[in-house]
Amino acid sequence: MSARTFSIACLTAVLLAVGCVGLFNWIVDPYGYFRDVQIAGFNANKPKAAGNDRLVKPAWAAKLKPEAVIVGGSVAEIGLPPTHRGFTMDGALVPFNLGMARATWSETYCLAMFMMRQAPLKRMVIGVSGIEVTTCPSDAEQGRADYGKLLFSRAAFDASRETLRLQRQQAAISPEGLWDFDRYDEHLQTEEEVAQNFAVVMKSELCASASVGSAAPASIRPLKAPVAAERGAGLRNLIRLALARRVELILLFYPTHVLLSEAQRSCQGTDARWNWLWQTVSIAEQEAAGHSRQIQVWEFWDYSTLNGEKIHAGKPARDRLWQDSIHFNHELGDVVFDAIYRGRPGYGAQVTVANFDDLAARGEEQRSKFLAANPWVAEEFDEVKRRAGFGDAAAR
């Protein structure tokens, strides 16, 4: 065999091997981008898609062109159900959850702007975590699929093999982008494990002086001054584009577990959360005056049984409303969307400039009554502090 023939044979073998790897990854489709072959028990479950959001979700959304989109961080990705009948107008709209783990406000803002420029979008929910503007990649960049990583990378090949191996386990992520996260993790099914998980997640929000009831309701200031025009450029851009594109926009302040609410107000001050909400609703009214049905602000910070699920509730993680103090499961997300789209009373509230002061006052009154009727909040808060290293043992 001549050197030329040998070289051609070797090159052919390499190309065939690479082609076979690409074909294998396309068929198995471990990250859920191609979706040309979907066979139950073979590749329908995509356990390796979870955690690879940035590789697939924006590109898939660009290809899918959904009409109802959820954008935010892991809270949105885990808790807000894209197939909710109210959100989809009883199935009339094609939905997608574009929430991504550890998404910053910059990512959320850029993805929201990107999706609103997609022609068929009718409805969007944004988890608010900021108000300012940022520099974004082009639409072409955000919607581009990296075929090298999807088809020919070692990571994709390993993910394909794992996908075939793990078909029988609980589905980790839905075709519409809803992620179960740690809900079915076998190591989070006892009260001890749930309590420790709460402490781990809450640690960054705690301070040494944190305690239940430490911030008095009387410290709340009336917040009636409009936000200056130079503030909140990112939020203003989102609202203006939604109005121009006739997209119904919900600016959402997520449900917060009462333990986390107490940690935040104790360490950051009573006003911090209300100031943030005021800035958002003030900007929304400035930009969308006369369009209150199209641009809405909602908060779900209630001190209620929905946000006050006990750590020691006798439930494993798979059966709980809350996985930890930040992440709630889609059953609670259903109630959120019921309130927004079905008019269900008794949980959360649409916030306007006109009702803001009354809402803040009612919220503080609700908090006082809830804490008085539920002494377990202080007990479990102290337990979380100890587990997080802020208790008496740490002081000694």
**Is residue 178, in this structure, part of any structural domain at all?**
no
Same domain? For 116 and 26 the reply is: yes
Q: What is the pLDDT of residue 209?
A: 86
Q: What is the pLDDT of residue 216?
A: 53
Same domain? For 52 and 150 the reply is: yes
Check: CB of residue 163 under 8 Å from CB of residue 24: no
CA distance 327 to 305: 16
- Number of domains present in the structure of the chain: 2
Q: What is the pLDDT of residue 271?
A: 82
Same domain? For 91 and 237 the reply is: no
Ranges 10-19, 48-57, 171-180, 259-268: which has the least confidence: 10-19
Q: What is the pTM of this model?
A: 0.93
- pLDDT of 394 strictly over 60: no
Point out the domain boundary residue: 165, 183, 202.
Answer: 165
- pLDDT of 376 strictly over 70: yes
Name the token pair of 352.
């306007």
Domain housing 255 = 191-395
pLDDT digits 0-9 by tens, 134-179: 999 999 999 999 999 999 999 999 999 999 999 998 888 999 999 9
**Is residue 175, in this structure, part of any structural domain at all?**
no
Look-up of token digits 């980790």: 172
Same domain? For 65 and 143 the reply is: yes
Same domain? For 7 and 135 the reply is: yes
CA distance 267 to 242: 35
Same domain? For 195 and 161 the reply is: no
Residue 184's CB: how many other CB atoms inside 10 A? 15
> How remote is the C-alpha of 335 from its chain's centroid?
16
CA distance 328 to 331: 8
pLDDT bin (cut points 50, 70, 90) of residue 20 is confident
- pLDDT of 76 strictly over 50: yes
Q: What is the pLDDT of residue 103?
A: 96
**Is residue 180, in this structure, part of any structural domain at all?**
no
pLDDT bin (cut points 50, 70, 90) of residue 15 is low
**Is residue 179, in this structure, part of any structural domain at all?**
no
**Residue type at 372 in one-letter notation:** A
pLDDT digits 0-9 by tens, 208-245: 889 997 655 544 554 567 888 889 999 999 999 999 99
* Helix-strand-coil split of the chain, %, nearest 5: 45, 10, 45
Q: What is the pLDDT of residue 16?
A: 67
Residue 350's CB: how many other CB atoms inside 10 A? 15
Same domain? For 94 and 51 the reply is: yes
Same domain? For 161 and 196 the reply is: no
Q: What is the dihedral of CA 154, 160, 162, 165, to 10 degrees?
A: -150
Same domain? For 198 and 159 the reply is: no
CA distance 190 to 192: 5
- pLDDT of 382 strictly over 50: yes
160-to-32, 155, 164, 224, 338 alpha-carbon distances in Å: 11, 9, 6, 55, 38
Point out the domain boundary residue: 130, 165, 200.
Answer: 165
Same domain? For 246 and 303 the reply is: yes
287's CB contacts (< 8 A; 6+ apart) are 235, 236, 239, 240, 243, 295
What stretches of the chain show up as alpha helix (H) in DSSP?
Answer: 3-28, 53-64, 74-79, 105-116, 139-142, 147, 154-165, 191-202, 233-245, 258-268, 271-288, 330-342, 356-373, 376-387, 392-395
The per-residue pLDDT of the chain, averaged, comes to 91
Tell me which H or E stretch contains 330.
helix 330-342
The three-state (H, E, C) secondary structure of 187-198, written as one string? CCCCHHHHHHHH
Same domain? For 123 and 206 the reply is: no
Ranges 95-99, 213-217, 247-251, 254-258: which has the least confidence: 213-217
